[in-house]
Amino acid sequence: MTGTIEIPHSIRDALRAVFGRPIGSPLDDSAFDRLALAIFAWQFEHNTPYAAYCSRRGRTPAAVTHWTQIPAVPTAAFREAALIAGDPAAAAAVFRTSGTTGGPERRGTHYIGDTSLYHESLLPNFAAMLLPDGAAPVMISLVPRPAEVPDSSLSHMVETVIARFGAPASTWVASVVSGIDDARLNRALHEACERDEAVCLLGTSFAFIHWLDVLRATGRRYALPPGSRIMDTGGFKGRSREVDADAMREEYAFRLGIDTVHGVNEYGMTEMCSQFYDSTLRDHAAGLKRSRHKVIPPWVRTRLVDADTLEPVTQGERGLLQHFDLANAGSVCAIQTEDVGEAIEGGFRVIGRAAGAQPRGCSMAMDDLLEALAGNRP
């Protein structure tokens, strides 16, 4: 399944201009609004299931006058419909969720219409947040290669950043079948130390937990070269263990010699092309002292909404994170999550998943989607 969904040149050119903006320099609201409305109108015309959902909610391009009125789809919607602005068979890439919540038969699917636009949003954001000092470290992936998991958005992301930013000695040390190859990882780290070459470790939080278990059991510690860093991603949804994030960063410092400010957590999801990263490494490189938070790239708006009404919460209150990601031009830009967050100056913090059953607002939105899909079938 390869191809490209033809997004209008006017939208593509506008997106590329936004992707070229410095991270931390958001678009003013009027410019964001104009581009968001143009993308919404195009998605409404070409994304049939999304158009049916929007129509059911009375939100057509004629009725929507501001980006905040664009209907957000719950992440669960990606399990129910091919939310792509065009023919799914023409998608350039297909990413699927892990299935940890609904099981492998209930995996959400995100059809990527144009990987070039995806990469153009991915690379500058990664560089700004993980490589703000201009480093080109040895990148070591604890994520399996895309050849093993071709529908993994994380594997695709890691392959893309390694190809663009990784030093020649960059390598992959994990597979789906055998997990982390500890001997190979140990060798790669020792060789980097011998060359005095900084390392960037990339993997899921859960993979790092298991590797740290091995290091504790064997008593191993490393003094990785200055400038080494780590990117972990994902939480512990559906997992057997939970570990405090601050405790993990302290363990990285003790076992690997990676300063806690060089431990960067990435918050992303299969249903979104954009990612959010901890601010600490970028702030450290700039000589700033601020609390750790997720930085919002210029082409994204993030709001906190009430779990029942999906309306914005009062300033200072926690709420569900709702993202408007213009990099999702080929699918759906407005994404409603079940993640609880809190806003702080310059970004947000992720608190965790909404407890218990699906939040009422997300459930009602899913009911609308399913009824719209049923009414749209021949």
| Other C-beta atoms lying within 10 Å of the C-beta of residue 159 | 18
Largest CA distance in the chain: 65
Q: Where are the domains of the chain?
A: 29-114+300-376, 117-295
CA distance 50 to 329: 13
> Secondary structure of 144-209 in the HEC alphabet?
CCCCCCCCCHHHHHHHHHHHHHCCCCCEECEECCCEECHHHHHHHHHHHHHHCCCEEEEEEHHHHH
Q: Are 223 and 87 in contact (CB under 8 A)?
A: no
The CA-atom distances, in angstroms, between 142 and each of 69, 169, 202, 239, 272 are 40, 15, 6, 18, 22
Identify the pLDDT of residue 357.
Answer: 73
Coil/strand/helix, residue 348 = strand
Residue where the block lists tokens 């609201």: 29
**Domain 29-114+300-376 sits in CATH 3.40.50.1970:** no
CA distance 308 to 356: 13
CA distance 33 to 322: 16
Of 111, 115, 107, 201, which is closest to residue 157 (Cα–Cα)? 115
Half-sphere exposure for 328 (CA within 13 Å, toward CB)? 28
Identify the pLDDT of residue 220.
Answer: 96
Identify the pLDDT of residue 1.
Answer: 37
Identify the pLDDT of residue 240.
Answer: 47
The CA-atom distances, in angstroms, between 236 and each of 26, 82, 213, 242 are 31, 27, 16, 6
CATH class of 117-295: alpha beta
Identify the pLDDT of residue 141.
Answer: 98
- Hey, do 29-114+300-376 and 117-295 end up sharing a CATH topology, with the first three levels equal? yes
374: Cβ–Cβ under 8 A, 6 or more apart, which residues?
A: none
- Encode the chain (378 residues) as per-residue pLDDT tens digits: 345 568 999 999 999 999 999 998 888 999 999 999 999 999 999 999 999 999 999 999 999 999 999 999 999 999 999 999 999 999 999 999 986 544 445 789 999 988 999 999 999 999 999 999 999 999 999 999 999 999 999 999 999 999 999 999 999 999 999 999 999 999 999 999 999 999 999 999 999 999 999 999 999 999 999 999 999 998 645 444 567 889 999 999 999 999 999 999 999 999 999 999 999 999 999 999 999 999 999 999 999 999 999 999 999 999 999 999 999 999 999 999 999 999 998 899 999 988 877 899 999 999 999 999 997 654
Tokens representing 332 are: 């759906």
Q: Are 36 and 326 in contact (CB under 8 A)?
A: yes
